[in-house]
Amino acid sequence: MAVNEREKAVLDWLAGRKDAMVSLLEAIVNIDSGSYNKAGVDEVGKVIQAHLKDHDIPVEVMPDDTYGDCFTGTVAAETPGANRHILLMGHRDTVFPDGTVAERPFRVDGDLAYGPGVADMKGGLVLNTFVLEAFKACGGAPAPLVGLYTSDEEIASPSSRPVIEGQARNAMAVFNSEPGRASGNLVVARSGACFFEFEVTGIPAHSGSRHQDGASAIEELARKIQKLHALTDYDAGLTVNVGLIRGGNSVNTVAPWARAEVDLRCRDMAVMDAALPKVDAVLAETGLKGTTTRKTRERRFLPLSQDDAAKGLFEKYRGVAGELGWKVGGERTGGSADSGFTAAVGAPTVCATGPVGGKGHSPDEYLELDTLVPRAQAMALTIMRLQA
């Protein structure tokens, strides 16, 4: 299908914006914005908001007292009256601690950019921002186009989830700009996740002279870790990992307390619904007399699966990419993302529409700069073809 005059204008506008994209990317990568660093996450937001406002795109901020604020930038439809919108989504937080930018700031080596969060997912934020600006510069979008910039995805979106779900309801399409896979593919399925913490309370005693009077919280924790790990079932698509443990007061004291943080991943909601009662049963059972256990925190990501509407959206994107001269497929990943929340409220969703990158959450995280413009063009052209 040949591009029409309107489509060509948007594609041509984006074609000349690589340097500007890289400039914005550098500015936001060079801000520490770990999930719990509200000031840093909000500073990334201020840079993007200023960019949007410079292009006459109105911004609405949704304040949060604990985590970074969420905000939207909206481009109106070129023809008034559309009652469904298109949602572009991305998170501003990273997994990296304060001080990481000073240690390894944004840098470019050939086609690759490096720096904390450069792919996951500040590159996607840049892409979404320029797609919004392209439509604004070219007279509006085919339907109201909303860019949602969230703040705490790396910790399962405790404050952003209701905002995401509210924005996704009644959306005709959602593009979540997590990084494109190293293969160039989009993500069409993601595992769900449950992150939880639990605490064991024991009875302290001198570990030499009164050992028999104590009840070790660490021993009870160890018993529970074995049972939790035993729930892993690769064939069913379920993994359980106790990733962090702490406990005890001193080497010569029977431990009065112990805590653990757990990552449970599941292929789909049926697996999650079957696994969580088993987890609760492990925590409820007391193996060592004198100890008690309680769950102290729980956060969840919902699985992403592809229904007929999402499959149609993916096929539309794949066809557009082919027209632009490159191939894209769809793949499953064990990582979780906010796209599970949008799919769960019924919004057709594709994920990993950001520029291609890899090695996320590591010092070697990278972004392929030459994919910024083509992936922005593919998203924009898909948006213009949604009703075709």
Write out the chain in H/E/C secondary structure: CCCCHHHHHHHHHHHCCHHHHHHHHHHHHCCCCECCCHHHHHHHHHHHHHHHHHCCCCEEEECCCCCCCEEEEEECECCCCCCCEEEEEEECCECCCCCHHHHCCCEEECCEEECCCHHHHHHHHHHHHHHHHHHHHCCCECCCEEEEEECCHHHCCCCCHHHHHHHHCCEEEEEECCCECCCCCEEEEECEEEEEEEEEECECCECCCCHHHCECHHHHHHHHHHHHHCCCECCCCEEEEEEEEEECCCCCECCCEEEEEEEEEECCHHHHHHHHHHHHHHHHCCCCCCCEEEEEEEEEECCECCCHHHHHHHHHHHHHHHHHCCCCCEEEECCCCCHHHHHHCCCCEEECCCCEEECCCCCCCEEEHHHHHHHHHHHHHHHHHCCC
Does residue 302 contact residue 343 with C-beta atoms inside 8 Å?
A: yes
Q: CA 233, 156, 182 angle in degrees (round to 5)?
A: 70
10-residue mean pLDDT series, the chain (388 residues): 89 98 98 98 98 98 98 93 91 98 98 98 98 97 96 96 97 98 95 97 98 98 98 97 98 98 95 97 98 97 94 97 96 94 96 97 98 98 89
pLDDT at 81: 73
The residues carrying an active-site annotation are: 93, 153
Give strand pairing partners of 176.
89, 351
User: How many C-beta neighbours within 10 Å does residue 263 have?
Assistant: 15
Supply the pLDDT for residue 319.
97
Containing 283, the helix (H) or strand (E) segment is helix 269-284
- Helices 372-385/123-137 angle, 10° precision: 50
User: What is the C-alpha end-to-end distance of the chain, expressed in Å?
Assistant: 11
Cβ atoms < 10 Å from Cβ of 78:
14
Which amino acid is present at 141?
A: A
Three-state secondary structure call for residue 228: helix
Alpha-carbon distance 218 to 303, whole Å? 33
Q: What is the pLDDT of residue 3?
A: 86
| Predicted pLDDT of residue 278 | 98
The answer to whether 204 and 256 are in contact (CB under 8 A) is yes
pLDDT at residue 294 in the model:
98
pLDDT the model gives residue 388: 55
Q: What are phi and psi of 192, to 5 degrees?
A: -85, 165
What are the backbone angles phi and psi of residue 126, rounded to the nearest 5°? -65, -45
Please state, in angstroms and rounded to a whole number, the distance separating the CA atoms of residues 106 and 27.
9
